[in-house]
Chain A
Amino acid sequence: MSPAISIKNVSKRFRLYHERQSSLKEKLINIGSRSYDDFYALDDVSFDVEEGSTFGLMGHNGSGKSTLLKLIGGILKPTSGEIITKGRIAALLELGAGMQPDLTGRENIFLNGSILGLSRKELEKRFDEIVAFSELEQFIDTQVRFYSSGMYVRLGFAVAVNVDPDILLVDEVLAVGDELFQRKCYERVKEFQQEGRTIIVVTHSVDQIRQIGDSAAVLNHGKLVYKGAPTEAIREFREYMFNDVQVEPQQTSSELTANDHLRLSLAVDPETKEKVKKIRITEAAFCNPEETTSYKITTGGSLRGQINWETTEPVENAVFNFEVYDKSGELVFTASSEELDLGVLDGKGSVEFRWGSIPLSDGTYTVNGVIMNKNTSEIYDWQEQRYIFEVVNDTKSLGYVVLPFEVSIRKD
């Protein structure tokens, strides 16, 4: 397969002027003496996105992921490097962009469609479909200024998804409209996937990437730090989220952007800048309690999970969590040591979880292990999808879960 999008050594520099000067007079007066900082939103990023894949773009705020999406869409131009895209692009960046309030819904469909690169003929062919999707049949000849914001967005989405794009750019916008319409949007995106179109999703939501991504990239401070399988990318993303400060302690405070400061204050408290984790997971395992060597269990059987921990200093109020996911990335269940008072942890040890009966059906399940502070929610360690267990279903039941039941019959 050939790449649908090729990103080659792309950098984007923004000039941050210390005082925004936007009048000619100010510019003339300050000519030559304008002071600014160069800020690289993207720094020499290169990667390809395969045709027909669903690609996740992850990174914290200010990592450059939205800038990259705008570059792919052609809304911004790179400072250096180039981006080659094959096929028509539709961006679900901001729905309803370019709606003219003075024009009717019908006129806006044609205008908006042609902004997205559709010919009049194609639009005429799709017109009914677009109107049906937006559910705005009654209002289609009303000026858009009289629309509610929900109607506005619906019309925008209806046009955007009906333009038959080869590449769809999605920027965390699917949370629009009422629940029913949201589901419709999701279904549409899934349809796109099945039709073999290329989709790029920018998101914070790890779950979304896990569910729909074929591959993913992680950006950190404008640099590409990982590209590959989603689970590995999520692990990498978490790693950077938590270790961000440790990655660049050499940065002087003046070089940090406001965004960095915000993130600093949110992510870590200033005293814990050292690289070493207070407490970490050294190992974790899932097994059948009877045969401790096998990670296979049978449906309805019991399960034992163990986390081995190690500290570098005494830790209070720690809590151990498990998150269990199925193959498609759906969260199945969680378990927490919250109820148990662990006291002060110092040195080494292990925490054990036991489930009497696991009603799950066949499959391989992946597990996240997390140690966090009960009160401050500070995360001490997070192991993303490092552990697995397998369930073998020897009953005749189908479905996600196998629940015990009784059946009876009465003949009168």
Chain B
Amino acid sequence: MTKPVYEKVVRPRSTVRSRLREIWIYRELLVGMIKKELKVKYKNSALGFMWTMVNPALYLLVFWLVFTKFLPNGIPEFVIFFLSGLLVWNLFTGAVSSATSSVVNHASIVKKVYFPREILPLSSVGAAVVHYMLQLVVLVIALIAFTHNIDWSYAWLLPIALITVIVFATSLGIFLSALNVYARDTQHLLELALLAWFWTTPVVYAYGSVLSGSHGLIGTLFKLNPMTSIVLPFQRVIYAKTDVYLTIGDKSLFRVLPQESSLWYFRNLSIVFIGSLIFFYIAMRVFDKAQGNFAEEL
């Protein structure tokens, strides 16, 4: 037999580098698991993958009704504004919440077969990315329907923003999936946390509406929300209306989108990106320490 002999060392702890190498060796499994996630999700359903697109469309309908008819927030072309933030938000929550329960849900394999366990949260993130790509169809339809123009001069920010949200969601997913094995409440707590997070991220309302008033501490916390830095470039490129002013109640006039250069967006994204990388490293360490006993705890 002339195949390369692959030597494996099982130690109490391993380095992040060796974990990444191991994941690379198992990359085909990652692809297989992503496919499985996608197949299993809509198996035996009549609409199948259409559900992925129906979901944001229905969301859109409800929010459009509420925020333009019942409780108008005054944002022109609200559909485009809302969609540009919602889709990336969906990517984030979809990835994090399914990654969190991924290890527990695959208990039967984890207990019996070896493979790098990081594959499980990673494949959840991968599946969420595929769903995101499909949901872009809804956005494109909306853009055509409204004959809306996007701002191409800022478009180079999008790939960076996309990579940032993926790294951030992956780090959080890996970290929480390990935690969830030891404390199952994590996934329930996460649901609530994500709901609160959604409303503290400018997806439904405009970024300017929070920062125009002198909110002090709230304003600072709002700026610290990494998802704000991720959602804003999407709105800036896709919604692209910087000359729209709004006023709510007795507040002064504010812009829907901040009037800033692309470098300002880039700086904010970079901070989140670097932070996510550090978090990724920590999450991998925590996961590695935790996984030694996954088979026993599940």
Contact = CB atoms under 8 A, between A and B. Distances in A.
Do the two shown chains form a genuine complex with each other?
yes
Given A74-B10, A86-B8, A103-B39, 20 more contacts: A22-B183, A22-B184, A24-B183, A24-B185, A27-B182, A75-B114, A75-B295, A76-B293, A77-B292, A78-B292, A83-B9, A84-B10, A85-B9, A88-B6, A94-B111, A97-B113, A98-B113, A111-B32, A114-B29, A120-B28
Highest count of chain A CB atoms <10 Å: which of B10, B33, B44: B10
Interface in A77-106: 77-89, 91, 93-94, 97-98, 100, 102-103
Interface in B170-196: 182-186, 189
Contact of B113 (A75, A79, A102): A75
Contacts of B115: 115, 117
Contacts of B106: 98
B103 to A, nearest CB: 13
B250 interface: no
A25 B296 CA distance: 21
Contacts of B29: 114-115, 117
B295 A85 contact: no
A304 to B, nearest CB: 52
Contacts of A107: 36, 39
B91 to A, nearest CB: 24
A110 interface: yes
Contacts of A86: 5-8
Interface string B18-58: 00000001101100110010011001100000000000000
Given A77-B11, A83-B9, A97-B112, A70 B295 contact: yes
Nearest to B112: A97
Contacts of B111: 75, 94, 97
B114 A24 contact: no
Given A75-B113, A76-B296, A97-B112, A25 B185 contact: yes
A68 to B, nearest CB: 11
Given A98-B108, A111-B36, A82 B183 contact: no
A71 interface: yes
B58 to A, nearest CB: 25
A115 B113 contact: yes
Contacts of A251: none
Given A73-B114, A107-B39, A85 B32 contact: no
Contacts of B110: 75
B159 interface: no
A4 to B, nearest CB: 10
Contact of A94 (B5, B112, B186): B112
Contacts, number: 120
A48 B43 CA distance: 47
B28 A23 contact: no
A22 B182 contact: yes
B216 interface: no
Contacts of B6: 86-88
Contacts of A166: 5
Nearest to B44: A102
A85 B10 contact: yes
B109 interface: yes
B249 interface: no
A71 B28 contact: no
Contacts of A143: 43
A358 interface: no
Contacts of B293: 76-77
A74 B12 contact: no
B291 interface: yes
Highest count of chain B CB atoms <10 Å: which of A80, A115, A143: A115
8 contacts: A84-B9, A91-B114, A103-B36, A103-B43, A110-B32, A111-B32, A111-B33, A120-B28
B113 A76 contact: no
Contacts of A75: 110-114, 295
Contact of B291 (A22, A77, A111): A77
B39 to A, nearest CB: 6
A225 interface: no
B12 A102 contact: no
Given A24-B186, A74-B8, A97 B36 contact: no
A100 B291 CA distance: 22
Contacts of A114: 26, 28-29, 32
Interface in A110-145: 110-111, 114-117, 119-120, 143
A20 to B, nearest CB: 10
